Amino acid sequence: MRSQDIPENPLVTGVIQAYRFALAPTPEQDDLLRSHCGAQRYAYNWGLALAKAVMDQRQAETTYGIPDTGLTPPLNWSAYSLRKLWNHSKDDVAPWWGENSKEAYSSGLANLATALTNWNASKHGARRGPKIRFPRFKDKRRSMSCRFTTGSFGLADSDRRHVKLPRIGVVRTHESTRKLARHVERGTARIRSATITHHGGRWFCSLSVEIHRTDPAPARPASAVGVDLGVKSLAVLSTGEIITNPRHFDLAVPRLRRLQRQAARRSDPDRRTRRQPSQRWHRTRARIAKLHNAVANARRDSLHKLTTHLVRTHGTVVVEDLNVAGMLKNRRLARHVAGVGMGEFCRQLDYKTAWTGGTLHVADRWYPSSKTCSACGAVRTKLRLAERTFHCDECPLVLDRDLNAARNLAHLVVGFADGTSSPSCGATRNEPAGNPRQTRTARAAGIATGSPGPHPGQRRHRKETAASSTGTHTRFR
Ligand SMILES: [Zn+2]
Protein backbone atom coordinates (compact mmCIF):
# COMPACT_ATOMS: atom_id res chain seq x y z
CA MET A 1 0.00 0.00 0.00
CA ARG A 2 1.07 3.57 0.55
CA SER A 3 3.30 2.95 3.52
CA GLN A 4 6.53 2.89 1.45
CA ASP A 5 6.35 6.39 0.05
CA ILE A 6 5.18 8.05 3.25
CA PRO A 7 7.74 10.38 4.77
CA GLU A 8 8.55 9.82 8.40
CA ASN A 9 6.97 13.13 9.27
CA PRO A 10 4.07 13.85 9.02
CA LEU A 11 2.19 10.65 9.70
CA VAL A 12 -0.49 9.45 7.30
CA THR A 13 -3.18 7.32 8.84
CA GLY A 14 -6.11 5.67 7.15
CA VAL A 15 -9.15 5.95 9.36
CA ILE A 16 -12.90 6.06 9.21
CA GLN A 17 -14.04 9.37 10.46
CA ALA A 18 -17.31 11.24 10.64
CA TYR A 19 -17.75 14.77 9.35
CA ARG A 20 -20.87 16.25 10.84
CA PHE A 21 -22.48 19.38 9.48
CA ALA A 22 -25.37 21.31 10.95
CA LEU A 23 -27.97 21.85 8.23
CA ALA A 24 -30.02 24.89 7.35
CA PRO A 25 -32.88 23.34 5.36
CA THR A 26 -35.69 25.28 3.71
CA PRO A 27 -39.18 24.65 5.17
CA GLU A 28 -39.90 22.24 2.29
CA GLN A 29 -36.67 20.38 2.94
CA ASP A 30 -37.44 20.31 6.64
CA ASP A 31 -40.69 18.52 5.83
CA LEU A 32 -38.85 16.07 3.60
CA LEU A 33 -36.23 15.38 6.27
CA ARG A 34 -38.98 14.73 8.81
CA SER A 35 -40.79 12.52 6.35
CA HIS A 36 -37.67 10.41 5.77
CA CYS A 37 -37.04 9.99 9.50
CA GLY A 38 -40.70 9.04 9.91
CA ALA A 39 -40.38 6.50 7.11
CA GLN A 40 -37.32 5.00 8.76
CA ARG A 41 -39.19 4.73 12.05
CA TYR A 42 -42.25 3.26 10.35
CA ALA A 43 -40.27 0.48 8.69
CA TYR A 44 -38.46 -0.27 11.94
CA ASN A 45 -41.68 -0.49 13.94
CA TRP A 46 -43.37 -2.53 11.23
CA GLY A 47 -40.54 -5.07 11.25
CA LEU A 48 -40.46 -5.16 15.04
CA ALA A 49 -44.21 -5.79 15.26
CA LEU A 50 -43.80 -8.63 12.76
CA ALA A 51 -40.91 -10.18 14.67
CA LYS A 52 -42.87 -9.92 17.91
CA ALA A 53 -45.99 -11.45 16.37
CA VAL A 54 -44.06 -14.42 14.99
CA MET A 55 -42.31 -14.99 18.32
CA ASP A 56 -45.54 -14.76 20.31
CA GLN A 57 -47.27 -17.11 17.88
CA ARG A 58 -44.51 -19.70 18.22
CA GLN A 59 -44.59 -19.46 21.98
CA ALA A 60 -48.37 -19.89 22.07
CA GLU A 61 -48.14 -22.91 19.77
CA THR A 62 -45.52 -24.46 22.05
CA THR A 63 -47.84 -24.18 25.03
CA TYR A 64 -50.54 -26.01 23.05
CA GLY A 65 -48.12 -28.92 22.67
CA ILE A 66 -47.47 -28.54 18.95
CA PRO A 67 -44.16 -30.23 18.05
CA ASP A 68 -41.23 -28.07 16.95
CA THR A 69 -41.61 -29.14 13.34
CA GLY A 70 -45.24 -27.98 13.23
CA LEU A 71 -44.59 -24.49 14.55
CA THR A 72 -44.89 -21.32 12.49
CA PRO A 73 -41.48 -20.93 10.85
CA PRO A 74 -39.26 -18.42 12.69
CA LEU A 75 -38.70 -15.01 11.14
CA ASN A 76 -35.39 -14.57 9.40
CA TRP A 77 -34.32 -11.16 10.69
CA SER A 78 -31.40 -10.43 8.42
CA ALA A 79 -31.60 -6.98 6.86
CA TYR A 80 -31.87 -8.60 3.44
CA SER A 81 -34.82 -10.79 4.23
CA LEU A 82 -36.60 -8.07 6.20
CA ARG A 83 -36.25 -5.82 3.18
CA LYS A 84 -37.68 -8.53 0.96
CA LEU A 85 -40.67 -8.93 3.27
CA TRP A 86 -41.15 -5.18 3.33
CA ASN A 87 -41.13 -4.93 -0.45
CA HIS A 88 -43.83 -7.62 -0.59
CA SER A 89 -46.15 -5.85 1.81
CA LYS A 90 -45.33 -2.14 1.46
CA ASP A 91 -48.18 -1.50 -1.00
CA ASP A 92 -50.68 -2.71 1.60
CA VAL A 93 -49.21 -1.35 4.85
CA ALA A 94 -47.72 1.88 3.51
CA PRO A 95 -49.22 2.88 0.16
CA TRP A 96 -47.46 6.24 0.55
CA TRP A 97 -44.01 4.61 0.47
CA GLY A 98 -43.10 6.28 -2.82
CA GLU A 99 -42.93 9.68 -1.11
CA ASN A 100 -39.58 8.81 0.44
CA SER A 101 -36.32 7.40 -0.77
CA LYS A 102 -36.28 3.61 -0.45
CA GLU A 103 -33.11 4.07 1.60
CA ALA A 104 -35.23 5.37 4.48
CA TYR A 105 -37.03 2.03 4.80
CA SER A 106 -33.86 0.02 4.26
CA SER A 107 -32.02 1.88 7.00
CA GLY A 108 -34.88 1.31 9.45
CA LEU A 109 -34.90 -2.40 8.67
CA ALA A 110 -31.10 -2.62 8.86
CA ASN A 111 -31.20 -0.98 12.29
CA LEU A 112 -33.84 -3.46 13.38
CA ALA A 113 -31.76 -6.38 12.11
CA THR A 114 -28.79 -5.14 14.15
CA ALA A 115 -30.94 -4.61 17.25
CA LEU A 116 -32.44 -8.09 17.06
CA THR A 117 -29.07 -9.71 16.37
CA ASN A 118 -27.51 -7.92 19.34
CA TRP A 119 -30.38 -8.86 21.62
CA ASN A 120 -30.15 -12.49 20.51
CA ALA A 121 -26.37 -12.62 20.96
CA SER A 122 -26.69 -11.05 24.39
CA LYS A 123 -29.37 -13.53 25.39
CA HIS A 124 -27.17 -16.47 24.46
CA GLY A 125 -24.04 -15.01 26.09
CA ALA A 126 -22.27 -14.47 22.78
CA ARG A 127 -21.86 -10.77 23.45
CA ARG A 128 -19.88 -9.04 26.14
CA GLY A 129 -21.18 -6.19 28.22
CA PRO A 130 -24.48 -5.65 29.97
CA LYS A 131 -27.58 -7.55 28.88
CA ILE A 132 -29.39 -6.03 25.96
CA ARG A 133 -33.15 -5.69 26.18
CA PHE A 134 -35.52 -6.68 23.44
CA PRO A 135 -35.81 -3.78 20.98
CA ARG A 136 -38.57 -1.32 21.74
CA PHE A 137 -40.81 0.58 19.39
CA LYS A 138 -39.45 3.93 18.32
CA ASP A 139 -41.52 6.95 19.22
CA LYS A 140 -42.17 9.99 17.16
CA ARG A 141 -40.34 12.62 19.16
CA ARG A 142 -37.14 10.73 19.79
CA SER A 143 -34.81 8.86 17.45
CA MET A 144 -35.17 11.08 14.42
CA SER A 145 -32.59 9.75 12.03
CA CYS A 146 -32.21 8.24 8.61
CA ARG A 147 -29.19 6.80 6.84
CA PHE A 148 -28.35 6.77 3.15
CA THR A 149 -25.84 4.29 1.84
CA THR A 150 -26.67 4.26 -1.86
CA GLY A 151 -27.90 6.85 -4.32
CA SER A 152 -26.53 10.31 -4.90
CA PHE A 153 -25.38 11.82 -1.64
CA GLY A 154 -22.29 13.66 -0.51
CA LEU A 155 -20.97 17.16 -0.99
CA ALA A 156 -22.67 19.33 -3.56
CA ASP A 157 -20.45 20.40 -6.44
CA SER A 158 -21.68 23.99 -6.60
CA ASP A 159 -19.95 25.60 -3.62
CA ARG A 160 -18.61 24.49 -0.24
CA ARG A 161 -21.79 25.17 1.65
CA HIS A 162 -24.11 22.36 0.61
CA VAL A 163 -24.62 18.63 0.98
CA LYS A 164 -26.54 16.46 -1.43
CA LEU A 165 -29.09 13.93 -0.21
CA PRO A 166 -31.24 11.48 -2.19
CA ARG A 167 -34.76 12.76 -2.81
CA ILE A 168 -34.27 15.67 -0.39
CA GLY A 169 -31.91 17.48 -2.71
CA VAL A 170 -29.15 19.98 -2.03
CA VAL A 171 -29.29 21.28 1.55
CA ARG A 172 -27.32 24.23 2.83
CA THR A 173 -24.91 23.65 5.70
CA HIS A 174 -24.13 26.07 8.50
CA GLU A 175 -20.41 25.48 8.27
CA SER A 176 -18.14 25.27 5.28
CA THR A 177 -17.45 21.79 3.95
CA ARG A 178 -14.10 22.93 2.57
CA LYS A 179 -11.85 20.63 4.57
CA LEU A 180 -13.67 17.50 3.53
CA ALA A 181 -14.16 18.78 -0.03
CA ARG A 182 -10.42 19.20 -0.46
CA HIS A 183 -9.81 15.66 0.73
CA VAL A 184 -12.41 14.34 -1.71
CA GLU A 185 -10.93 16.35 -4.60
CA ARG A 186 -7.43 15.08 -3.83
CA GLY A 187 -8.73 11.53 -3.69
CA THR A 188 -7.69 11.01 -0.07
CA ALA A 189 -11.25 10.60 1.16
CA ARG A 190 -14.27 8.56 0.12
CA ILE A 191 -17.72 9.20 1.54
CA ARG A 192 -19.40 5.93 2.54
CA SER A 193 -22.74 6.97 3.97
CA ALA A 194 -24.77 9.95 5.05
CA THR A 195 -26.93 10.01 8.16
CA ILE A 196 -29.37 12.77 8.95
CA THR A 197 -30.34 13.34 12.56
CA HIS A 198 -32.43 15.84 14.43
CA HIS A 199 -30.92 16.83 17.73
CA GLY A 200 -31.48 19.75 20.08
CA GLY A 201 -33.70 21.53 17.59
CA ARG A 202 -31.31 21.22 14.69
CA TRP A 203 -30.74 18.98 11.70
CA PHE A 204 -27.35 17.42 11.16
CA CYS A 205 -25.84 15.47 8.32
CA SER A 206 -23.08 13.12 9.38
CA LEU A 207 -20.90 11.82 6.58
CA SER A 208 -18.97 8.65 7.28
CA VAL A 209 -15.67 9.03 5.46
CA GLU A 210 -12.80 6.70 4.69
CA ILE A 211 -9.91 9.09 4.87
CA HIS A 212 -6.12 9.25 4.75
CA ARG A 213 -5.27 11.82 7.37
CA THR A 214 -2.02 13.76 7.36
CA ASP A 215 -1.19 14.92 10.84
CA PRO A 216 1.93 16.73 11.99
CA ALA A 217 4.10 14.71 14.35
CA PRO A 218 4.33 15.99 17.93
CA ALA A 219 6.57 19.04 18.29
CA ARG A 220 8.55 17.35 21.06
CA PRO A 221 8.45 13.62 20.24
CA ALA A 222 10.73 12.64 23.13
CA SER A 223 8.73 14.50 25.73
CA ALA A 224 6.34 12.73 28.07
CA VAL A 225 3.62 14.70 29.79
CA GLY A 226 1.59 13.57 32.79
CA VAL A 227 -1.96 14.85 32.93
CA ASP A 228 -3.91 14.98 36.16
CA LEU A 229 -7.55 15.60 35.48
CA GLY A 230 -9.04 17.56 38.29
CA VAL A 231 -12.21 19.08 39.50
CA LYS A 232 -10.82 22.46 40.46
CA SER A 233 -8.98 22.94 37.20
CA LEU A 234 -9.74 20.96 34.04
CA ALA A 235 -6.22 19.52 34.01
CA VAL A 236 -2.79 20.04 35.50
CA LEU A 237 0.17 19.06 33.32
CA SER A 238 3.47 17.82 34.66
CA THR A 239 5.08 20.78 32.87
CA GLY A 240 3.38 23.05 35.38
CA GLU A 241 0.75 24.21 32.91
CA ILE A 242 -2.69 24.59 34.43
CA ILE A 243 -5.73 24.39 32.16
CA THR A 244 -8.62 26.10 33.90
CA ASN A 245 -11.98 24.45 34.09
CA PRO A 246 -14.42 26.38 31.93
CA ARG A 247 -17.36 25.10 34.05
CA HIS A 248 -19.82 25.49 31.23
CA PHE A 249 -22.51 23.62 33.10
CA ASP A 250 -22.21 25.67 36.28
CA LEU A 251 -22.60 28.81 34.24
CA ALA A 252 -25.77 27.46 32.66
CA VAL A 253 -27.35 26.29 35.92
CA PRO A 254 -29.23 29.54 36.76
CA ARG A 255 -30.80 29.63 33.30
CA LEU A 256 -31.53 25.93 33.47
CA ARG A 257 -33.28 26.28 36.83
CA ARG A 258 -35.39 29.13 35.49
CA LEU A 259 -36.46 27.10 32.47
CA GLN A 260 -37.24 24.07 34.58
CA ARG A 261 -39.46 26.16 36.85
CA GLN A 262 -41.15 27.43 33.72
CA ALA A 263 -41.72 23.87 32.50
CA ALA A 264 -43.14 22.92 35.88
CA ARG A 265 -45.76 25.65 35.61
CA ARG A 266 -46.93 24.37 32.25
CA SER A 267 -49.19 21.45 31.51
CA ASP A 268 -46.94 18.38 31.37
CA PRO A 269 -47.92 14.86 30.27
CA ASP A 270 -49.54 12.68 32.90
CA ARG A 271 -49.61 8.95 32.44
CA ARG A 272 -52.34 8.25 34.97
CA THR A 273 -54.85 10.70 33.61
CA ARG A 274 -53.46 10.39 30.08
CA ARG A 275 -53.18 14.13 29.83
CA GLN A 276 -51.41 15.30 26.71
CA PRO A 277 -48.69 17.91 27.27
CA SER A 278 -49.43 21.45 26.11
CA GLN A 279 -47.66 23.10 23.20
CA ARG A 280 -46.17 25.62 25.65
CA TRP A 281 -44.69 22.76 27.68
CA HIS A 282 -43.10 21.37 24.51
CA ARG A 283 -41.65 24.80 23.74
CA THR A 284 -40.00 25.04 27.16
CA ARG A 285 -38.68 21.52 26.84
CA ALA A 286 -37.15 22.47 23.52
CA ARG A 287 -35.47 25.47 25.16
CA ILE A 288 -34.06 23.23 27.90
CA ALA A 289 -32.77 20.80 25.32
CA LYS A 290 -31.15 23.66 23.43
CA LEU A 291 -29.38 24.87 26.56
CA HIS A 292 -28.10 21.39 27.40
CA ASN A 293 -26.90 21.16 23.85
CA ALA A 294 -25.00 24.44 24.07
CA VAL A 295 -23.30 23.24 27.26
CA ALA A 296 -22.36 19.94 25.66
CA ASN A 297 -20.96 21.71 22.60
CA ALA A 298 -18.86 24.12 24.67
CA ARG A 299 -17.54 21.25 26.77
CA ARG A 300 -16.65 19.18 23.74
CA ASP A 301 -14.88 22.14 22.20
CA SER A 302 -12.64 22.83 25.21
CA LEU A 303 -11.81 19.13 25.55
CA HIS A 304 -10.88 18.91 21.88
CA LYS A 305 -8.63 21.95 22.23
CA LEU A 306 -6.87 20.41 25.23
CA THR A 307 -6.37 16.96 23.71
CA THR A 308 -5.17 18.39 20.40
CA HIS A 309 -2.70 20.62 22.26
CA LEU A 310 -1.39 17.59 24.20
CA VAL A 311 -0.87 15.27 21.23
CA ARG A 312 0.60 18.00 19.01
CA THR A 313 3.17 18.97 21.65
CA HIS A 314 4.22 15.79 23.43
CA GLY A 315 5.19 12.39 22.07
CA THR A 316 3.80 10.55 25.08
CA VAL A 317 0.76 11.40 27.15
CA VAL A 318 0.22 9.67 30.49
CA VAL A 319 -3.19 9.73 32.12
CA GLU A 320 -4.79 7.96 35.03
CA ASP A 321 -7.39 5.27 34.58
CA LEU A 322 -9.99 6.97 36.70
CA ASN A 323 -12.85 5.02 38.08
CA VAL A 324 -15.36 7.31 36.44
CA ALA A 325 -18.36 5.09 37.08
CA GLY A 326 -17.42 4.89 40.76
CA MET A 327 -16.89 8.61 41.05
CA LEU A 328 -20.25 9.29 39.47
CA LYS A 329 -21.86 7.32 42.28
CA ASN A 330 -20.40 9.78 44.78
CA ARG A 331 -23.12 12.42 44.98
CA ARG A 332 -20.78 15.26 45.76
CA LEU A 333 -18.37 14.53 42.94
CA ALA A 334 -20.82 13.34 40.31
CA ARG A 335 -21.81 16.66 38.80
CA HIS A 336 -18.25 17.91 38.55
CA VAL A 337 -16.82 14.68 37.17
CA ALA A 338 -19.56 14.45 34.58
CA GLY A 339 -18.99 18.13 33.88
CA VAL A 340 -15.38 17.62 32.94
CA GLY A 341 -16.06 14.66 30.66
CA MET A 342 -13.17 12.43 31.68
CA GLY A 343 -14.22 9.40 29.71
CA GLU A 344 -14.46 11.52 26.59
CA PHE A 345 -11.03 13.00 27.35
CA CYS A 346 -9.38 9.57 27.27
CA ARG A 347 -11.30 8.55 24.18
CA GLN A 348 -10.08 11.62 22.30
CA LEU A 349 -6.49 11.14 23.44
CA ASP A 350 -6.63 7.54 22.33
CA TYR A 351 -7.47 8.22 18.70
CA LYS A 352 -5.54 11.48 18.44
CA THR A 353 -2.27 9.90 19.61
CA ALA A 354 -2.87 7.28 16.92
CA TRP A 355 -3.16 10.06 14.35
CA THR A 356 0.05 11.84 15.33
CA GLY A 357 2.04 8.67 16.00
CA GLY A 358 2.28 9.45 19.68
CA THR A 359 1.72 7.12 22.61
CA LEU A 360 -0.96 7.14 25.25
CA HIS A 361 -0.17 5.47 28.55
CA VAL A 362 -2.96 4.78 30.96
CA ALA A 363 -1.65 4.30 34.48
CA ASP A 364 -3.29 1.59 36.49
CA ARG A 365 -6.32 2.59 38.51
CA TRP A 366 -4.54 1.71 41.74
CA TYR A 367 -1.31 3.56 41.04
CA PRO A 368 -1.02 6.07 43.94
CA SER A 369 -0.21 9.12 41.79
CA SER A 370 -1.49 11.58 44.39
CA LYS A 371 0.11 9.93 47.43
CA THR A 372 3.59 9.45 45.96
CA CYS A 373 6.24 12.12 46.37
CA SER A 374 7.42 13.23 42.93
CA ALA A 375 10.87 14.15 44.31
CA CYS A 376 11.92 11.14 46.41
CA GLY A 377 9.27 8.51 45.63
CA ALA A 378 8.06 8.04 49.20
CA VAL A 379 4.41 7.01 49.38
CA ARG A 380 2.21 8.57 51.99
CA THR A 381 -0.32 6.28 53.60
CA LYS A 382 -3.12 8.78 53.82
CA LEU A 383 -4.07 11.84 51.85
CA ARG A 384 -7.45 13.41 52.35
CA LEU A 385 -9.26 14.80 49.31
CA ALA A 386 -9.41 18.21 51.01
CA GLU A 387 -5.60 18.47 51.18
CA ARG A 388 -4.81 20.52 48.12
CA THR A 389 -1.06 20.73 48.83
CA PHE A 390 1.25 17.74 49.03
CA HIS A 391 3.69 17.72 51.96
CA CYS A 392 6.25 14.92 51.84
CA ASP A 393 7.07 13.04 55.06
CA GLU A 394 10.57 12.06 53.92
CA CYS A 395 11.89 15.14 52.13
CA PRO A 396 11.15 18.88 52.22
CA LEU A 397 8.95 18.81 49.08
CA VAL A 398 5.84 20.96 49.25
CA LEU A 399 3.90 21.01 45.97
CA ASP A 400 0.42 21.50 44.62
CA ARG A 401 -1.39 18.20 44.93
CA ASP A 402 -2.43 17.96 41.28
CA LEU A 403 0.97 19.00 39.94
CA ASN A 404 2.62 16.37 42.14
CA ALA A 405 0.26 13.74 40.69
CA ALA A 406 0.91 14.88 37.13
CA ARG A 407 4.67 14.67 37.66
CA ASN A 408 4.34 11.14 39.05
CA LEU A 409 2.41 10.12 35.96
CA ALA A 410 5.12 11.55 33.70
CA HIS A 411 7.77 9.67 35.75
CA LEU A 412 6.05 6.40 34.88
CA VAL A 413 7.14 6.79 31.27
CA VAL A 414 10.42 8.63 31.86
CA GLY A 415 11.41 5.48 33.75
CA PHE A 416 11.00 3.52 30.53
CA ALA A 417 13.17 5.92 28.58
CA ASP A 418 15.97 5.49 31.14
CA GLY A 419 16.49 1.99 29.80
CA THR A 420 14.90 0.09 32.65
CA SER A 421 12.57 -1.40 30.08
CA SER A 422 11.74 -0.52 26.52
CA PRO A 423 8.18 0.41 25.72
CA SER A 424 8.31 -1.43 22.42
CA CYS A 425 8.95 -4.78 24.09
CA GLY A 426 5.55 -4.75 25.69
CA ALA A 427 6.58 -3.82 29.21
CA THR A 428 3.77 -1.36 29.40
CA ARG A 429 1.15 -4.04 29.37
CA ASN A 430 -0.36 -5.24 32.58
CA GLU A 431 2.20 -6.62 34.96
CA PRO A 432 1.44 -8.50 38.17
CA ALA A 433 -0.71 -6.61 40.65
CA GLY A 434 1.03 -4.48 43.23
CA ASN A 435 3.67 -3.18 40.84
CA PRO A 436 3.65 0.61 41.10
CA ARG A 437 4.95 0.84 37.55
CA GLN A 438 1.93 -1.02 36.32
CA THR A 439 0.46 0.65 33.29
CA ARG A 440 -1.87 -0.38 30.60
CA THR A 441 -1.26 0.65 27.05
CA ALA A 442 -4.33 1.90 25.35
CA ARG A 443 -5.95 -0.08 22.65
CA ALA A 444 -5.50 1.18 19.14
CA ALA A 445 -8.52 3.05 17.96
CA GLY A 446 -8.56 3.81 14.29
CA ILE A 447 -11.73 5.78 14.35
CA ALA A 448 -12.78 9.16 15.49
CA THR A 449 -16.38 8.22 16.07
CA GLY A 450 -17.66 5.30 18.07
CA SER A 451 -19.08 3.51 15.06
CA PRO A 452 -18.87 2.14 12.49
CA GLY A 453 -15.53 0.44 12.90
CA PRO A 454 -12.91 0.25 10.22
CA HIS A 455 -12.75 -2.91 8.20
CA PRO A 456 -9.89 -5.21 9.19
CA GLY A 457 -7.58 -4.36 6.31
CA GLN A 458 -7.76 -0.71 7.11
CA ARG A 459 -6.91 -1.08 10.75
CA ARG A 460 -3.89 -3.20 9.93
CA HIS A 461 -2.73 -0.62 7.44
CA ARG A 462 -2.92 2.17 10.00
CA LYS A 463 -1.00 0.20 12.58
CA GLU A 464 1.72 -0.67 10.12
CA THR A 465 2.06 2.95 9.09
CA ALA A 466 2.21 4.03 12.68
CA ALA A 467 4.82 1.46 13.62
CA SER A 468 7.02 2.03 10.61
CA SER A 469 7.11 5.77 10.92
CA THR A 470 7.61 6.18 14.65
CA GLY A 471 9.37 3.05 15.77
CA THR A 472 8.33 3.47 19.37
CA HIS A 473 4.65 2.93 18.93
CA THR A 474 3.44 0.84 21.83
CA ARG A 475 -0.09 -0.10 21.02
CA PHE A 476 -1.48 -3.53 21.46
CA ARG A 477 -4.73 -5.04 20.53
ZN1 LIG B 1 9.69 13.27 49.15
The answer to whether residue 320 is catalytic is: yes
CA of 378 to the centre of ligand 1 (A): 5
CA 25 – CA 15 distance, rounded (Å): 30
Set 103, 215, 320, 364: catalytic member = 320
- For residue 151, report the phi and psi dihedrals to the nearest 5 degrees: 90, -175
DSSP element (H, E) containing 207: strand 202-215
CA of 368 to the centre of ligand 1 (A): 14
Taking a C-beta distance cutoff of 8 angstroms, is the pair 182, 234 a contact? Answer: no
Set 402, 418, 431, 464: catalytic member = 402
CA 227 – CA 320 distance, rounded (Å): 8
Tens of pLDDT along the chain (477 residues)? Answer: 344 444 455 677 788 999 999 999 999 999 999 999 999 999 999 999 999 999 999 888 888 888 878 888 888 889 999 999 999 999 999 999 999 999 999 999 999 999 999 999 999 888 888 888 999 999 887 778 999 998 888 898 778 999 999 999 999 999 999 999 999 999 999 999 999 999 878 899 999 999 998 888 899 988 899 988 776 778 889 998 888 877 888 889 999 999 999 999 999 898 899 999 999 999 999 899 899 888 888 888 888 999 999 999 999 999 887 665 566 566 665 555 555 567 788 889 999 998 888 889 888 777 888 888 888 888 887 777 777 888 888 888 888 888 888 898 888 887 644 433 333 323 333 333 333 343 444 433 333 333 333 343 333 333 333 333 333 333 333
Taking a C-beta distance cutoff of 8 angstroms, is the pair 451, 17 a contact? Answer: no
Set 103, 215, 228, 364: catalytic member = 228
Cα maximum dimension of the chain: 83
Residues with CB in 5 Å of ion ligand 1:
373, 375-376, 378, 392, 394-395, 397
The DSSP letter of residue 272 is T
Nearest in space to 123 (alpha carbons), one of 55, 186, 180, 38: 55
Query: Which domains, from first to last, does the chain contain?
Result: 12-26+145-212 (no CATH), 33-123 (no CATH), 220-244+299-441 (3.30.420)
The answer to whether residue 418 is catalytic is: no
The answer to whether residue 5 is catalytic is: no
Phi/psi class of residue 405: alpha, beta or left (left: φ > 0; alpha: ψ in -120 to 50)?
alpha
Would you state the pLDDT for residue 441?
42
Q: Which residues pair with 317 in a beta bridge?
A: 225, 360
Would you state the pLDDT for residue 247?
81
CA of 392 to the centre of ligand 1 (A): 5
CA 83 – CA 106 distance, rounded (Å): 6
CA of 199 to the centre of ligand 1 (A): 51
CA of 376 to the centre of ligand 1 (A): 4
CA of 133 to the centre of ligand 1 (A): 52
- Write down the pTM of the prediction: 0.73
Would you state the pLDDT for residue 110?
95
